[in-house]
Homo-oligomer: A and B are copies of this chain.
Amino acid sequence: MSNSLSETSVGLDPVRKEILTGARELFIHFGFKKTTMEDIAKKIGRSKSSLYYYFKTKEEIFEAMALEDMDFQHRNAVETMNREEAVQDRFRSFVVSLFTHLISNKQEYSVFKAELMENPFLIMNITEKRNAYMEVFLKDLVLYGIRRGEIRELSHEEIDIWAKAINVSLKGIGSRLFLGNDQEKFKDHLGFIADALFMGITTKI
């Protein structure tokens, strides 16, 4: 389970953290483009050049911040999930946790909606890392379920495909929650959605 999104969680450097928390506030308030390196530096009472001692580029700061957030959010979901035993319960719990967090923090990240499509390259790295992480996570979960006899014996290939498919599915649902304006209907049925994806909707037998 040595699967994680961000290295910074170990808190390697206090200044690094300082930069990230300062940057986070500015990014969330003004977006990526309108936040200058000067702004970040001033915010934490340091010179702009200092930032370049810890990060190579502005993008790198943004990326580190985003990954840190996602990491926190995922750790949270995993922690909640691990209180369950059955895979179905774990999956449902994980999905519900992720999406409720997404919905409740929706406002906070709304600044990025516009920017996301102005420069998609910005989130490319982040997306890739997240995908890689999620796929490993989902594969592990399937293996856990198979071990418990709650999931049919699937081939390696099938597990891989399933993980990829469910990942993009969840992403699709996530974007709809984030961008769409019908979260209301969704948010009360997150558990149902998770179960439907995992267990299907057919009559058992």
Contacts and interface: CB of A to CB of B under 8 A. Distances in A.
Total identical chains? 2
A192 B165 CA distance: 10
A142 B45 CA distance: 60
A185 B160 contact: yes
B199 A200 contact: yes
A15 interface: no
Interface of A: 87-88, 117, 120, 142, 145, 149-152, 154, 157-158, 160-162, 164-166, 168-173, 175-176, 182, 185-186, 189, 192-193, 196-205
Given A165-B173, A169-B169, A158 B202 contact: no
Nearest to A197: B197
Contacts of A192: 158, 161-162
A150 B201 CA distance: 9
A34 B96 CA distance: 45
A152 B196 contact: no
Given A165-B197, A169-B172, A197-B197, A150 B189 contact: no
A182 B88 CA distance: 28
Nearest to A116: B117
A198 B202 CA distance: 7
Contact of A164 (B88, B151, B168, B176): B176
Nearest to A118: B117
A161 B193 contact: yes
Given A152-B202, A162-B192, A172-B173, 16 more contacts: A152-B201, A154-B201, A160-B185, A161-B186, A165-B196, A168-B169, A168-B173, A169-B172, A169-B197, A170-B172, A171-B172, A196-B200, A198-B202, A199-B202, A204-B204, A205-B205
